[in-house]
Amino acid sequence: MKDIIYDVAIIGSGASGGAVAYQLCKAGYKVVILEKGQLIQRDEFSKDELAYCRRDIVTPNLFDEFHTIEEKIDGKWIETPTYQSGWSFWNGNIVGGSSNFMSGMFHRMHPDDFRLKTIYGKIDGANVEDWVINYNDLEPYYRLAEDLVGISGYSKKHKYEAPRSRLKFFQPPTEENNIVNLFDKCCNKLNITPLVTARAVLSKNIGKRDACYYSNFCGSYGCSSGAKGSSREAFISPALATGNLTLLSNSHVTHLDSSEKIIKQANIINNITNQKLKIYAKFFVVASQAHESVRLLLNSANKFHPNGLSNSSGELGKNLIFSAGGAGGGTFYKDDMSKIDFNNLMDRGLFINRSILDWYIKDDWWKPKEKGGLVEFMFEHQNNISRAVNSRYKDNRLLWGEELAKKLKDKFTKTKTLRFEIFNDWLPTDDCFISIDKKRKDKYGMPVGKLRINAHPKDLEIAYNISKKVKIILKEMGAKDIYSSISAVPPQNLIAGGCRFGDNPKTSVIDKNCKSHDIKNLFIADASFMPTGGSTPYSWTIYANALRVGEEVVKVLQKKL
């Protein structure tokens, strides 16, 4: 049988891979998506905590596939495979990737985020560089993502809110718990501006996607109504409808074969049948999530590219970034509620939809003119097992019997915890990068990724100062047991960097359009392109940039290789 030569082969079907595929298929090009994970249909998603949060139903077993983590302990770098620590850096290996499991809190980066070095200056110990595009270059694609993904929200003028070419959101906000009335009142009393969070969740039916049904289990779970704007719902499904997309799930790309200037083929193994295949295309788009994209390119080294594909600069894998910050919360108790009806507080499934940008730029409340961060509010995750496990101790004493039963009953019926998450820049440094572990291999015989993780002290300093301000809000609301946790341990679901884009091939991996400096038919579309991540979750920016990259691939195809 004659080999099929696709116009474009995309490796990964998450937020970036799906968006690129959508642009290409709508333009009439033949595309294949190579996705390591399985295809789970919308009606197959459940809210089973055991399956999705405590088993490997959507991520590889760590004894089969893992990463090596390097952390500095007592001044020494210590290596630990994740099958020993249980710290998984897999974020949803299924069609649509981790976008299936996001909470959908969407924020645009601020214009200042694109010029961090120019505006705020050099920071000792950090490798901060300006982006080679600006906010205005990306704004049309933020708006396009809003339309295609179906982002709900409400726009309110704020000095640190990114400017929008259209004030009205695609849909009005999702329904909100009555606690927002107390939250808004207390913020206003403290001269803090509460903002309605944009969310990639439909509040109204549209097309074949139904509105949110407020299941109370959004983050960490797939959406069985189609309301959540995952890559699968927003991009892959409509791309498949064009007839131009071939979706190959359970297809793990082990390496890419290339000449000096051209990738010739992708080598895949079906992780169900173990069948090996070769996929041919005119262009290749790597979109496997930052750390896995780097691993693939490093493992694809050959005589033309001995240090990995697109690595003539030696920058591949460097300047890995995460989302810095921390978390905290406070608890409301039924027995001493006075500012809100506790029964209203217990309405399950309704969103908080509140964020604060007042401290995004620190020009008047701490040191002059430095980047701060944003704060997002939500209820404690409703995972029942986790909530029960976290309640089994009292004063460091393990509870059991009637005492444990009473505490669990009170926990579930007489308390409600309001949480917050702080997002601020994770500054890129020389001590945060990904390489390959030549001593350890996964079940496919492929060297695993080695992640060295180290946070810049400034990240923690900023998050700590913001947390003090958030606690004042919770206290004003009447919460008790208020706490915060600011840590250098990063969230493993928010990873960027490693394939920094730039104009200079000697200091960057890809150009401003995310095309390889070294290889003419290679694009890298996931968050690895980002030199800095802003003080926001990356999701909306990944969608927007991938739509931009998809449009650029179309232009290059029109000109032909």
DSSP character string of 347-384 = -SS-B--EEE-TTSEESSSSSSSEE-EEEEEEEPP--H
Tell me how far CA of residue 461 lies from CA of 281, 366, 438, in angstroms: 48, 11, 36
* 340 pLDDT higher than 90: no
Residues 473-495: tens digit of each pLDDT: 999 999 999 999 998 888 888 89
pLDDT digits (tens, 9 = 90+) for 201-245: 999 999 999 999 999 898 888 999 999 999 999 999 999 999 999
Q: Work out how many domains the chain is built from and give that number.
A: 1
- Region 153-173 average pLDDT: 91
Q: Which domain holds residue 462?
A: 5-559
Alpha carbons 190 and 348: distance in angstroms, whole number: 28
H helix count then E strand count, the chain: 14, 24
Q: Identify which of 334, 266, 350 has the alpha carbon closest to the alpha carbon of residue 300.
A: 266
pTM listed for this prediction: 0.95
- Closest by CA to 523, choosing from 495, 503, 548, is 548
pLDDT reading at 338 higher than 90: no
Q: What is the pLDDT of residue 465?
A: 93
Three-class secondary structure of residue 174 per DSSP: coil
For 249-297, how does the pLDDT look when each residue is reduced to its tens digit (9 = 90+)?
999 999 999 999 999 999 999 999 999 999 999 999 999 999 999 999 9
Report the DSSP beta bridge partners of residue 69.
80, 451
**CATH at 202:** 3.50.50.60
142 φ/ψ angles, rounded to the nearest 5 degrees? -60, -45
Of 547, 551, 550, 513, which Cα lies nearest the Cα of 149?
547
Instruction: Give yes or no for a contact between 121 and 106, defined as CB atoms under 8 angstroms apart.
Output: no
Residue 509 scores a pLDDT above 60: yes
Is residue 143 scored above 70 in pLDDT?
yes
What's residue 230's pLDDT?
Answer: 96
* pLDDT value of residue 1: 38
For the stretch 429-487, pLDDT in tens is 999 999 999 999 999 999 999 999 999 999 999 999 999 999 999 999 999 999 999 98
